[in-house]
Homo-oligomer: A and B are copies of this chain.
Amino acid sequence: MVPETPNSALPILGTRRVCQIAVVVRDIDRSARAYAAFFGLPVPPVFTTEAGLKVNQTYRGQPSDARCKLAFFELENTIIELIQPLGGASSWQEVLDQRGECIHHIAFQVMDTAGKERTLAAAGIPLLHQGAEPKTGQFSYFDARETLGLLVETLEGYK
């Protein structure tokens, strides 16, 4: 028999695993070299995301065509992601403009992003920026700066 669990024992996102720590940077090639040296890892490939409008990207409720460059470092217990915004309206550019290079978000793998969006909104954590890439998955940034002091990303469907 499974003991009865109070609601407060369930994580809102269904997980307590931080799958990514993401840092917004001005020059991803420079930052990728610095992270590679720091962690003793090869300099990773840099990807450019699809045009935002091709992946139904929205930012603050409006369609956004913003793109970014990404690079990933697989650490022992999580992944560090570097993000260089390439212009256009996005949470990437917003955070870089407001605070300079810094941690942009921590990420969690979820199921049922739409359900999580409703639960987070009820907890005072509104959606800020999202997109869905049909071949890969859906990413959503939630603005928990007032409650948790950071942005939270949910990832659904990414391998």
Q: Which residues of A contact B (CB under 8 A)?
A: 7-13, 15-18, 21, 23-25, 31, 34-41, 75-78, 99-103, 106, 123, 144-145, 147-150
Contacts and interface: CB of A to CB of B under 8 A. Distances in A.
A17 B147 CA distance: 27
Given A8-B40, A78-B78, A145 B101 contact: yes
A148 B34 CA distance: 7
A91 B35 CA distance: 22
Contact of A148 (B9, B16, B31, B41): B31
- The quantity of this chain's copies bound in the complex is 2
Contacts of A25: 149
B149 A17 contact: no
A91 to B, nearest CB: 14
A6 to B, nearest CB: 9
Contacts of A39: 11-12, 16
A64 to B, nearest CB: 23
